[in-house]
């Protein structure tokens, strides 16, 4: 199994999260929020076989850290994975949306110089804008829309653009998010936690908590747990191959 969006470096207890990753043996994508955190995060998970580190610049930090774009460019050939990146149109961040767009567009443009990038993307309250830029930069890589909250029309557009979707335990506690999950093609669904920001029973979500999503998908798709796991494995294999 997998956790395709986990902020490993931001857990208050590194030993706990690293132990969980090792015990599960899951494929874990450790995302970063600023380029300057990339190398330290790589060191943190070094030696864990199926853990990969992504290079990111979070939209909520874009206005404070846009000066790190040259560092992003310097580090980009060290990983296939890019994230967390994207746009955030939430209250408190709309004023910085132009800076966010500049940063996101710079990153997408830079990714076009490669042919294998996998991007994990934040699109809260900015879905149309994110999809518009993905459409403008089709060669930037394979997008995974993380914690995607959208209309059915936006979901269909994202599918047309070749997007995958990562679904976490927090989403299955929301009626709106559950409806969105029901619209996703089964062969484009991946698992995530978004821990430690996302919580399960009041505690930071851990990769092992994705079993809750598997149970939910089993009911939604009317398949056995084993069938859902096989489908998810195949989707991950298609993504990374």
List the 118-122 sheet strands across, edge first: 81-86, 118-122, 142-146, 164-167, 189-191
Q: What is the mean pLDDT of the chain?
A: 98
76 vs 55: CA distance, rounded Å: 7
140 vs 87: CA distance, rounded Å: 16
- The pLDDT of residue 153: 98
Q: Count of residues for the chain?
A: 241
All structural domains of the chain, each given as residue ranges with its CATH number in brackets, are 2-240 (3.20.20.140)
Beta strands 81-86 and 118-122, pairing class: parallel
- The pLDDT of residue 41: 98
pLDDT tens-digit profile of 52-111? 999 999 999 999 999 999 999 999 999 999 999 999 999 999 999 999 999 999 999 999
114 vs 122: CA distance, rounded Å: 21
201 vs 15: CA distance, rounded Å: 20
Q: Which helix (H) or strand (E) holds 6?
A: strand 2-6
- The pLDDT of residue 7: 98
Nearest to 149 by CA among 124, 120, 130: 124
pLDDT tens-digit profile of 171-211? 999 999 999 999 999 999 999 999 999 999 999 999 999 99
pLDDT tens-digit profile of 115-147? 999 999 999 999 999 999 999 999 999 999 999
Do the beta carbons of residue 178 and residue 172 sit within 8 Å? yes
Do the beta carbons of residue 191 and residue 169 sit within 8 Å? no
106 vs 115: CA distance, rounded Å: 16
33-to-66, 82, 112 alpha-carbon distances in Å: 12, 10, 21
Do the beta carbons of residue 123 and residue 143 sit within 8 Å? no
42 vs 9: CA distance, rounded Å: 9
Count helices and strands in the chain by DSSP H and E runs: 10, 10
Q: What are residue 86's phi and psi, to 5 degrees?
A: 135, -150
| pTM assigned to the model | 0.97
What b/e readout covers 29-65, taking b as 16+ CB neighbours within 10 angstroms?
A: bbbbbbbebbeebbebbeeeeebbbbbbbbbbbbbeb
Q: Rounded mean pLDDT of 15-21?
A: 98
pLDDT tens-digit profile of 141-165? 999 999 999 999 999 999 999 999 9
């Amino acid at each position: 199994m997998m956790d395709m969006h986990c902020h490993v470096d931001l857990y208050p207890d590194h030993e706990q999260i690293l132990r969980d990753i090792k015990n599960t043996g899951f494929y874990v994508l450790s995302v970063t929020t600023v380029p300057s955190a990339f190398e330290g995060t790589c060191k943190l998970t070094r030696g864990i076989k199926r853990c990969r580190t992504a290079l990111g610049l979070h939209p909520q930090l874009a206005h404070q850290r846009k000066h790190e774009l040259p560092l992003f460019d310097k580090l980009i050939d060290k990983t296939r994975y890019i994230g967390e990146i994207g746009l955030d149109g939430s209250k408190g961040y709309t004023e910085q949306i132009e800076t966010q767009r500049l940063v996101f567009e710079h990153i997408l443009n830079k990714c076009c110089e490669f042919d294998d990038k996998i991007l994990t993307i934040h699109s809260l309250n900015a879905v149309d804008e994110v999809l518009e830029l993905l459409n403008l930069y089709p060669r930037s890589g394979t997008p995974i829309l993380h914690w995607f909250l959208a209309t059915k029309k936006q979901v269909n557009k994202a599918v047309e653009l070749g997007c995958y979707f990562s679904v976490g335990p927090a989403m299955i506690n929301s009626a709106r998010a559950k409806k969105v999950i029901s619209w996703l093609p089964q062969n484009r669904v991946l698992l995530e936690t978004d821990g430690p920001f996302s919580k399960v029973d009041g505690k930071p979500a851990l990769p092992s908590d994705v079993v809750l999503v598997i149970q939910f998908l089993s009911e939604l798709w009317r398949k056995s747990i084993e069938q859902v796991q096989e489908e998810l494995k195949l989707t991950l294999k298609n993504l990374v191959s």
